[in-house]
Amino acid sequence: MEGLTLSDAEQKYYSDLFSYCDIESTKKVASNGRVVELFRAAQLPNEVVLQIMELCGATRLGYFGRSQFYIALKLVAVAQSGLPLRVESINTVKDLPLPRFGASKNEQESRHTTSYSSDTENQGSYSGVIPPPPGRVQVKKGSVSHDTVQPRPSTDQQESTSPVVSPQQSPPTSPHSWRKHNRHPSGGNNERPLPGPGPFWSPFSEAQTGSSAGDAMWSGHSPPPPQENWVSFADTPPTSTLLAMHPASVQDQTTVRTVASATTANEIRRQSSSYDDPWKITDEQRQYYVNQFKTIQPDLNGFIPGSAAKEFFTKSKLPILELSHIWELSDFDKDGALTLDEFCAAFHLVVARKNGYDLPEKLPESLMPKLIDLEDSADVGDQSGEVGYSGSPAEAPPSKSPSMPSLNQTWPELNQSSEQWETFSERSSSSQTLTQFDSNIAPADPDTAIVHPVPIRMTPSKIHMQEMELKRTGSDHTNPTSPLLVKPPDLSEENKINSSVKFVSGNTVADGYSSSDSFTSDPEQIGNTVTRQRSHSGTSPDNTAPPPPPPRPHPSHSRSSSLDMNRTFTVTTGQQQAGVVAHPPAVPPRPQPSQAPGSHVHRPVDAEGLITHTSTSPQQIPEQPNFADFSQFEVFAASSVNEEPDDEAEMHPEVLQVEKTSDPSSSLRVAKPDGRVEEKTAASAPANVGKSTTPLAPPPKPIRRRLKSEDELRPEVDEHSQKTGVLAAVLASQPSIPRSVGKDKKAIQASIRRNKETNTVLARLNSELQQQLKDVLEERISLEVQLEQLRPFSHL
């Protein structure tokens, strides 16, 4: 006979059939009996069969060698396609469908044949497809030959017996796909694969009913549900016992099946395909997937990391490129990990692929992880719109729900709109997404609102400022007002930055400066935050504007409270000032000249108020010195505890600078704060600090620093901690208010409440501190007097 050219599919199929017929495992000769059976199963008239046999030379040779067998098969195909049997037709007929043989248990086979013919391009799957029939045949040992072409229909009719039948049908590919793996190593040994189908056969047997049979499998063309193949890269090969069971039952069924009407097969097939969703995961499949998931990740709500998934799916021996594509399809949220749903989808796709079904371009609807509203999703699946999978929403990872809902709904749109997709991916919890929270990104997802700094409370701060002004003017203690007045300008410019950076202020202030809660002056915060805020569209330039000390880590709300505090402080300060001895005309603590420096009074207040004063309050300047004073005061307080005269000096930096005792500790304290404060207040308190600089700078710094770097100052601070601690505590107690709700009335009200509380506490503190300040001042005065008295003596 002339040379026979076979396509790859044909080659494989024929070889499988040959193996099937090669009961003696001679690999050379197909037993006549088997061959005849096979040919009969081809449902060709007997004379045709005889003709074929004659043509292929078997009659001549007396046996079916491989080549004869192949030729015979080809002729069968020719005959089945209705073409006249000619020797020449072997090679001349192109695109000949593969010969179809009645499938006993071979719904699979027939399915394969159909799938072969339809999926000739799926070369990869062929080997998988082909093995099963022969393999199965071997298992069944003789049950075969009747290869009815009707795969499904017979199963339909076999429903009663379906447990075994359906497995064969439904996961036609399973065994063979499984086989595929084995084939490669075994090189055609059909025995081995047998164990493979067992496992899933068992699950199938239970579940397999008409429904399962009816599903996916039916459409001869659509990819059979990839139920099969699970075991392929799963783990333990099923026990052969199962197989034994199956073959037996299969045999019975095959007999029954063979009876099945071939005519109905097509109809049924057509019907099934109409509702069949090849991508639908049956319950057994799903259960299997879930079990597999558990082997990797016991927690069903957890994730399978990418690496583990990679190993797992690599076992399926699919090409990396396809696995990569499957991953792309199934990793819905692009987080590099698979949830249960995603895992099932991926598994399903792998099984489908192994069974020869092309991977879809988009994730089929039934495979999409059910998050929220899958109904909204558009076509997606090329198969029927069944969302049978949606039954698993419960398993949808809750963690993804925030972004998922919107994602789910917009998934179809996202598919089409890359822009949305981009937004989504930005929104997704995936850490890999770029943290590009540029303001020009319009996140539809409310979640992003939290991320994006929302300018808020531009007005509140102003309002606060105004309030403070009013209070100032209205109060008797207007002394501080002057410095305060100076503040507003700064504040105003800071305020404008405020809006953009308000949110940031909270950030920047996060330096443990609990007191900063009250402190959260917008200007300061803005200054700091601006400097630190990267992505915020360039509001940074205004860094230098706000002089006040670095903003506290508190969000803007606290700022409001701080404003109140400032107000309170200024009030108290005013009081203090009134009652206090004329302060030495020390250099105004802050560059702001207007401040009536006297700030001894101010200082303690300011110290506390500094925190607050930086907040938009116009007290920036005065508070700075106050702030400084406060630190001094604290030092002083501490010293009062220790009764160190040096503290007094500390307390009045500007005054005592000259006389400043070189108390190492105190100087250290000052120095340290200086350093710290410098850093912190560098941007924020430029102008103000200009004048007083050192004296003032340190005072606030120690406080701030203390709060901020407790550890460093702790030893020194401990002493001071009394007041400052209280103050800090009070300030810190202010809850950080989410910036995003700045405009939220409730939040504002809550914050107002909090602030008021804080205010009262701070007011109390203030009064106490004022009292202490008075005492300290008196001591100072006395000490100064003494010093004066002693000085002349020192010259002696």
Q: Which residues contact another protein (rule: CB under 8 A)?
A: 306-307, 309-310, 313, 320-321, 323-325, 327-328, 331, 334-336, 361, 418-419, 421-422, 425-426, 430, 432-434, 436, 438, 440, 534-535
Q: Smallest distance, Å, CB 384 to another protein? A: 24
Query: Of the two residues 5 and 432, which places its CB atom closer to another protein in the complex?
Result: 432
Owner of token pair 């393999």: 135
Query: Of the two residues 63 and 421, which places its CB atom closer to another protein in the complex?
Result: 421
User: How many angstroms separate the CA atoms of 96 and 98, rounded?
Assistant: 6
Query: Of the two residues 5 and 436, which places its CB atom closer to another protein in the complex?
Result: 436
Q: Does an H or E element contain 425, and which?
A: helix 418-427
Please give the structure tokens belonging to residue 386.
Answer: 């069944």
Please give the structure tokens belonging to residue 312.
Answer: 């797992």
The amino acid present at 320, given as its one-letter code, is: I
The one-character DSSP state at 61 is H
Residues 6+ apart with CB under 8 A from 581: 777, 781
Backbone angles phi, psi at 587, to 5 degrees: -55, 135
Instruction: Quickly list H helices, 709-744.
Output: 710-720, 726-733
Q: Smallest distance, Å, CB 497 to another protein? A: 18
C-alpha dihedral over 791, 793, 794, 796, to 10 degrees?
A: 140
Helix (H, G, I), strand (E, B) or coil at 460: helix
Q: Smallest distance, Å, CB 260 to another protein? A: 41
User: How many angstroms separate the CA atoms of 397 and 428, rounded?
Assistant: 13
Query: Of the two residues 40 and 310, which places its CB atom closer to another protein in the complex?
Result: 310
User: How many angstroms separate the CA atoms of 187 and 4, rounded?
Assistant: 22
Q: Smallest distance, Å, CB 275 to another protein? A: 29
Query: Of the two residues 420 and 736, which places its CB atom closer to another protein in the complex?
Result: 420
Give the closest residue to 587 by CA, choosing from 578, 596, 576, 574: 596
Cβ 607 vs Cβ 627: under 8 Å? yes
Helix (H, G, I), strand (E, B) or coil at 466: helix
User: How many angstroms separate the CA atoms of 400 and 630, rounded?
Assistant: 49
Owner of token pair 């670095």: 550
Q: Does an H or E element contain 52, and which?
A: helix 46-56
User: b vs e for 92-114, b when ≥16 Cβ sit within 10 Å of the residue's Cβ?
Assistant: ebeebbbbbbbbbbbbbbbbbbb
Query: Of the two residues 348 and 583, which places its CB atom closer to another protein in the complex?
Result: 348
Q: Smallest distance, Å, CB 369 to another protein? A: 16
Q: Smallest distance, Å, CB 681 to another protein? A: 22
Query: Of the two residues 361 and 643, which places its CB atom closer to another protein in the complex?
Result: 361
User: How many angstroms separate the CA atoms of 713 and 8, rounded?
Assistant: 81
Query: Of the two residues 236 and 440, which places its CB atom closer to another protein in the complex?
Result: 440
Q: Smallest distance, Å, CB 271 to another protein? A: 33
Q: Smallest distance, Å, CB 705 to another protein? A: 25
C-alpha dihedral over 191, 192, 196, 197, to 10 degrees?
A: -10
How buried is residue 785: exposed, middle or buried, by Cβ count under 10 Å (0-12/13-18/19+)?
A: exposed
C-alpha dihedral over 366, 367, 368, 369, to 10 degrees?
A: 110
Q: Smallest distance, Å, CB 64 to another protein? A: 44
User: How many angstroms separate the CA atoms of 460 and 742, rounded?
Assistant: 9
Q: Smallest distance, Å, CB 168 to another protein? A: 32
Q: Smallest distance, Å, CB 419 to another protein? A: 8
* Bridge partner list, 527: none
Q: Smallest distance, Å, CB 625 to another protein? A: 34
Q: Smallest distance, Å, CB 651 to another protein? A: 40
Query: Of the two residues 270 and 325, which places its CB atom closer to another protein in the complex?
Result: 325
User: How many angstroms separate the CA atoms of 766 and 627, rounded?
Assistant: 12
Query: Of the two residues 304 and 497, which places its CB atom closer to another protein in the complex?
Result: 304
Alpha-carbon distance values, 726 to 647, 651, 712 (Å) = 20, 19, 19
Could you tell me what percentage of the chain is helix, strand and coil, using 3-state DSSP and rounding each to the nearest 5?
A: 65, 0, 30
The one-character DSSP state at 251 is H
Q: Smallest distance, Å, CB 185 to another protein? A: 23
Query: Of the two residues 310 and 743, which places its CB atom closer to another protein in the complex?
Result: 310
Cβ 766 vs Cβ 569: under 8 Å? yes
Please give the structure tokens belonging to residue 586.
Answer: 């020390």
Query: Of the two residues 124 and 336, which places its CB atom closer to another protein in the complex?
Result: 336
Query: Of the two residues 239 and 418, which places its CB atom closer to another protein in the complex?
Result: 418
Query: Of the two residues 441 and 752, which places its CB atom closer to another protein in the complex?
Result: 441
Q: Smallest distance, Å, CB 66 to another protein? A: 39
Give the closest residue to 553 by CA, choosing from 394, 680, 364: 680
Query: Of the two residues 330 and 521, which places its CB atom closer to another protein in the complex?
Result: 330
How buried is residue 234: exposed, middle or buried, by Cβ count under 10 Å (0-12/13-18/19+)?
A: buried
Count CB atoms within 10 A of the CB of residue 789.
9
Query: Of the two residues 274 and 418, which places its CB atom closer to another protein in the complex?
Result: 418
Q: Smallest distance, Å, CB 389 to another protein? A: 21
